Amino acid sequence: LPGLAADYILQTVAEGLHHPWSVAPLADGSFLVTERRGRLLHLSAEGEQTVISGVPDTYVAGQGGFFDILPHPDFASNRLVYLSYARGTPGSNGTAVERAILRDGELVERELLLEVDPPKDTPQHYGGRLLFLPDGSLLVATGDGFEYREAAQDLESELGKVLRIQDDGAVPDDNPFPASASRRVWTYGHRNTQGLALNGDSGSVYLHEHGPRGGDELNVLQAGANYGWPAITYGVDYSGAYVSPFTHLEGMAQPATYWVPSIAPSGMAWYGGDKFPAWRGDLFIGALVNREVRRLDMVGDEVLSESALFGELDERIRDVRSGEDGYLYLLTDSGQGKLVRVVPAREAGAD
């Protein structure tokens, strides 16, 4: 059957990456990769590494560091890239987003577009995933700060939210909460978001987030919706105590699917390529706990079934991306991380 191990080959593009967090395949066959420790790399199509200079200082502690790297939709002409990262000090830190022009191996004309408000004093649950919508606006996923979970329900706080801004940092006029203290809020009630993906056919936006013990969720985002954390959850606290006795409450959205026990989802890609026809329209989600990728067989926004792939790597998968070339790309999370390309076996065999 399509999708079994015999139908693909895993090719190592680069190795020796130090806890890489995000990969952005570029149209010329090269890649941008963030390392959580605060380095941004350019990898050639052959995997040769160049360290990009001019990056912002970052707060590296706990889960903090560099997060997502995302080229502007018009990157080929404007060379703009967007970087999310942890900014601040142990007593006052949070997720920030900058944009800059990538020129001759350096970030120039840097602009700080967003700092999550309020800052926090915990080095966990930053979120940090970025996604451009078809209208050119930018989604920024934030975490709840771990010890501030009630803030996920507070529209005056940007913790535990998905924020929406224009590509220059301005607030879109049609955001759903114009009267709230933060007009940037697009959705709320999230715990620790680690994946954002766009359905290239329908325009649906998918987000996944870590639950506590159990209760990892895949959500289909709708502007203005409340996804429930911590008022509703399918998980329990790390102590075994209830976070909430409720899994459903009126006015709060249900996930498209959830995982008990947790898989620790990380990175996500919607596959719209032509290299693997049987996978078209499906979601691919890194599963850190299981050291594999979960393929969700999708019809529209409905999850029909789920299967495990790429477990033969025996690596924590931090990011999953679908390249314009039709291949899938995986980042493994370790001190000697790898960038791996998934290629159809029939194609690899023809080399």
Which amino acid is present at 212? P
CA distance 114 to 86: 12
125 is catalytic: yes
Chain centroid to Cα 285, Å, comes to 10
Closest C-alpha to 325, from 268, 269, 270, 272: 272
What order of strands is seen across the sheet that includes strand 161-165?
Answer: 127-132, 138-142, 161-165, 185-188
In DSSP notation, 281-329 reads: T-EEEEETTTTEEEEEEEETTEEEEEEEE-GGG-S-EEEEEE-TTS-EE
Among the listed residues 19, 72, 125, 210, the single catalytic one is: 125
C-alpha closest to that of 74 among 136, 166, 138? 136
Distances (CA, A) of 112 to 5, 23, 57, 118, 201: 44, 21, 12, 16, 32
Q: Tokens at residue 46, please?
A: 């052959």
24 with 69: CB under 8 angstroms? yes
What dihedral angle (degrees, nearest 10) is formed by the CA atoms of 251, 258, 152, 181?
A: -60
Residues shown for the chain? 351
Q: Catalytic residue positions?
A: 125
